[in-house]
Amino acid sequence: MQGELFQEVLKKETAVSAFLDLTNMFHWQNVLGWKFHLEDIIRQLLSLPSMREVRVYYGINDRDASSSKRFHARIRSTGAILIAKPVKWVRREVNHGMFFKQATRSLFSPIVTEKVNDFVSYLRQTGIVIEEPKCNFDVEMTMDLLDVIDKVSAVVVFSGDSDLHAPLQRLKIKGKQIYICGVRGHTARELMVLTGGFVNFGKWYNGKRYYEKAKIPLVAGPRV
């Protein structure tokens, strides 16, 4: 569904709630090739007469508390409802599974397998410690979706996570319209079958876009 059509469709709804899985959305930027401005997304949603609330889910990074607090304050200043909890850091063991699935590794030639083994061995010898952030809001989003089931005619979900299939299915059974806003390749098939219209985020979003400047390699020219 194109952006303008989506806006017109939502205007016909009597009451809409929007749910933004922000961590999920940040991954879209790699596919889009540009970065969005969160305030513009929220402003675009709240401009709709039928929009009752916009809920944003994002973690608290205690390792960079000042930046995290400033960002959360920015979200709240838009009029959106922020749902937050501390980010957990999970230590990962350095092994082959960090880079390739078993099915993929089985396709490697002996030479490639040897190179991968050497690389993993090298990383282990360096003593590198790898920690990955974890802050999943599936449970919180599920509870909030079920809480609004009798208060809205439709929901807009900015996420591609298949774990949301069950609560969204419950809303659909109750006669609610489901709209999934996302990017191709980052939206689970389970969600696509539920939606009353998949919304291409890149074509719907009309806010600021930040493009990274291309890095121009420095090549020495001929001496004259």
pTM of the entire predicted model: 0.81
Whether 181 maps to a domain, the answer reads: yes
Could you tell me if 205 and 125 lie in one domain?
no
Residue 195: pLDDT band by 50, 70, 90 thresholds? confident
Whether 11 maps to a domain, the answer reads: yes
| pLDDT for position 93 | 82
Could you tell me if 38 and 118 lie in one domain?
no
The count of structural domains within the chain is 2
- Amino acid at residue number 216: I
Check which CATH number belongs to the domain holding 45 and give it.
Answer: 3.40.50.1010
Could you tell me if 14 and 79 lie in one domain?
yes
Q: Length of the chain, please?
A: 224
Could you tell me if 10 and 111 lie in one domain?
no
Could you tell me if 188 and 206 lie in one domain?
yes
| pLDDT for position 51 | 95
Q: Which of 184, 211, 219, 212 shows the shortest CA–CA distance to 198?
A: 184
Q: Which of 43, 56, 62, 63 shows the shortest CA–CA distance to 84?
A: 56
Residue 70: pLDDT band by 50, 70, 90 thresholds? very high
Q: What gap in Å lies between CA 87 and CA 190, rounded to an integer?
A: 27
> Is 101 exposed, middle or buried (CB count within 10 Å of its CB: 0-12, 13-18, 19+)?
exposed
pLDDT at 133 over 80: no
Domain extent at residue 111: 90-131
Could you tell me if 7 and 113 lie in one domain?
no
Kind plus residue range of the DSSP H or E element containing 27: helix 22-32
